[in-house]
């Protein structure tokens, strides 16, 4: 009998709805940032930022309110459909056992379960989305604070600073907050992308509800046995019980108990993101779907990837990670498309052109990741799950723009990278440049910042580290040895700080770059190093020599992480 697959598609409508909500929230934040960028830099201050952030908060609250009714309708339809599908499946088993089938619209007890689940899920979603307004407000404040700092310190011009602020805002999409449940519950303990959070909440809710329906119906039909579903690639803690029989009354000791499968636990059967289900098992009539031998083979299954045998669970987790990355990049392209349009509508073509570079970079990364995903599935034999790659707002228009962008980056790279090592086709280019090695890595490491920025998509954190190390090693050769030792030390420190700042400007993860610039790794002036070495009682000249020598060195622990060698 075909097993139910409603968990594979039941959240599609709600995910599409909340993807639109995310896009609306990001559009609101980006519009405010660009509008804020039109203010004279001298008028930039914390009070102005807070005033604008209040408007962001109010705007997002209005957006959330508009989506609430749509969300409630979608949740009701989803749970009702899941109820019917679940009863239909169980009825096939009851009919095969010669028992009277259940009503597909559900008994009063079943419908009470469904109503309770709908109310609980709507409440959870409302609580989550209401935090989106505060999360958007915080993101706006942080983004504008970055721009304010970069402009006031003279590190960047206004347009570049605004672009960095937009990058930061778009970086991880629209978020929801999770609060502590102690005292007044206002401390944020975690944040998560809104679409991901909603999907987890709804999928888990549907799964748990259908499980309760099957259990309630089994009690009504006079059976206390349930068979657990099984699938290749189950998480290790679930593989020990999948495919086996559970006795929920505990009267038949040869079977598993609810405690054995962790029923009701966050990481057990029907816990968060658990896709297992159960169905009635009629003793003396039903036959187990899988024998113990088949289950053992299923649990020990492996796939081959790059010549290595890896467990299917590990392989599917890698696959899920690749799918999340592709969805994330598609969502970013949608947000940048919105930002570009907004900049053009405000007459800021220079900012629009700068943001187009970001769009081009991410489009190139997306192309590489899509190719890698197909190759990974081809090698491992895992199915290409196109539905897991979809981001609803990534429509035909944005998709076509992404294709044109990749071609544009390819053509730009042809004018920058040595023709002898430059790939000949777009597809070869995206594959080679996603994880450059050998001569390509050397080439990218040696480019000037201005050229590197034009093909920024090729600079992941590993390549940026090689680039930074390469340029730092060349500092000593750039010093003007005709001036005093102190002047040379100041030159060396300035060059090191310049390369460090540029390396961070190449980072597409703007939140991480912000953390580096504001944390203990923030860029330090010449006086910091002078005072640091002077504490050891060294002469001025010895201190200057130390500063010059240190300027060409990079931290070995970080170099080791990325494979940079002396």
- Give the Å distances, CA to CA, from 312 to 317, 324, 325: 8, 18, 20
| Unique residue bearing structure tokens 């997002």 | 60
Q: Residue 421: which residues within 8 A CB-CB, separation 6 or more?
A: 439, 440, 443
d(CA 550, CA 532): 12
| DSSP codes joined into one string, 449-471 | HHHHHHTGGG--HHHHHHHHHHH
255-260 long-range contacts (CB < 8 A, ≥24 apart) are 255/225
Per-residue pLDDT of the chain (566 residues; tens, 9 = 90+): 445 566 677 778 888 888 888 888 888 888 888 876 665 555 455 556 666 678 888 888 888 888 888 898 899 999 998 899 899 989 999 998 889 888 888 889 999 999 999 999 998 888 888 888 888 888 888 888 878 777 777 767 788 888 888 888 887 778 888 776 655 556 666 788 888 888 888 888 999 999 999 999 999 999 999 999 999 999 999 999 999 999 999 898 899 999 999 998 999 999 988 989 999 999 989 999 999 999 999 999 999 998 999 999 999 999 999 999 999 899 999 999 989 998 998 888 989 988 998 898 889 889 989 988 999 999 999 999 988 898 888 999 999 999 999 998 898 889 999 999 999 888 888 877 767 889 999 999 999 999 998 888 788 889 999 999 999 999 999 999 999 999 999 999 999 999 999 999 888 777 788 788 888 888 888 999 999 888 888 899 999 999 999 888 888 888 888 888 86
């Amino acid at each position: 009998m075909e097993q139910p697959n409603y968990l594979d598609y039941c959240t599609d409508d709600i995910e599409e709805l909340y993807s639109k909500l995310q896009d609306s929230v990001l559009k609101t934040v980006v519009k405010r940032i660009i509008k804020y960028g039109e203010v004279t830099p001298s008028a930039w201050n914390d009070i102005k930022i807070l005033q604008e952030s209040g408007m962001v908060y109010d705007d997002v609250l209005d957006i959330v309110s508009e989506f609430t009714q749509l969300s409630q309708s979608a949740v009701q339809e989803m749970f009702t459909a899941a109820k019917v599908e679940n009863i239909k499946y169980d009825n096939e088993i009851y009919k095969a056992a010669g028992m009277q089938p259940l009503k597909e619209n559900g008994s009063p007890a079943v419908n009470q379960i469904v109503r309770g689940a709908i109310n609980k899920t709507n409440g959870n979603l409302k609580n989550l989305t209401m935090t989106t307004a505060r999360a958007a407000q915080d993101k706006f404040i942080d983004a504008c604070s970055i721009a304010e700092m970069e402009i006031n310190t003279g590190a960047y011009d206004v347009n570049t600073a605004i672009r960095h602020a937009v990058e930061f805002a778009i970086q991880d999409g629209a978020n929801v907050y999770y609060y502590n449940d102690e005292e007044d519950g206002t401390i944020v303990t975690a944040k998560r992308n809104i679409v991901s959070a909603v999907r987890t909440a709804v999928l888990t809710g549907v799964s748990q509800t259908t499980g309760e329906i099957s259990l309630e119906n089994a009690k009504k039909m006079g059976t206390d046995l349930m068979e657990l579903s099984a699938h290749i690639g189950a998480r290790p803690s679930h593989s020990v019980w999948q495919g086996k029989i559970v006795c929920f009354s505990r009267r038949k000791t040869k079977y598993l108990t609810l405690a054995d499968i962790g029923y009701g636990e966050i990481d057990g059967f029907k816990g968060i993101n658990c896709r297992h289900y159960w169905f009635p098992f009629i003793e003396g009539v039903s036959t187990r779907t899988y024998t113990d031998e088949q289950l053992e083979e299923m649990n020990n299954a492996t796939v081959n990837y790059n010549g290595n045998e890896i467990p299917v669970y590990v392989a599917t987790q890698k696959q899920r990670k690749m799918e999340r990355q592709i969805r994330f990049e598609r969502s970013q392209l949608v947000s940048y498309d919105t930002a570009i349009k907004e900049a053009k509508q405000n007459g800021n073509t220079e900012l629009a052109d700068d943001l187009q570079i970001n769009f081009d970079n991410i489009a190139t990364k997306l192309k590489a990741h899509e190719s890698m995903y197909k190759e990974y599935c081809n090698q491992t034999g895992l199915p290409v799950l196109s539905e897991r790659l979809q981001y609803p707002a990534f429509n035909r228009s944005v998709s076509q723009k992404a294709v044109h962008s990749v071609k544009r980056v390819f053509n730009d790279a042809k004018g920058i990278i040595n023709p002898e090592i430059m790939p000949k086709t777009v597809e070869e280019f995206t594959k080679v440049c996603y994880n450059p090695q050998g001569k390509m890595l050397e080439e990218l490491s040696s480019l000037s910042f201005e050229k590197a920025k034009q093909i920024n998509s090729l600079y992941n954190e590993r390549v940026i580290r090689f680039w930074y190390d390469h340029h730092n090693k060349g500092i000593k050769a750039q010093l003007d040895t005709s001036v005093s030792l102190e002047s040379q030390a100041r030159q060396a420190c300035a060059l090191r700080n310049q390369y460090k700042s540029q390396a961070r400007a190449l980072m597409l993860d703007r939140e991480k770059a912000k953390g580096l610039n504001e944390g203990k790794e923030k860029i330090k002036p010449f006086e910091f190093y002078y005072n640091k070495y002077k504490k050891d009682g060294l002469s001025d000249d010895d201190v200057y020599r130390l500063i010059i020598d240190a300027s060409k060195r990079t931290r070995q622990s970080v170099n080791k992480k990325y494979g940079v060698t002396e």
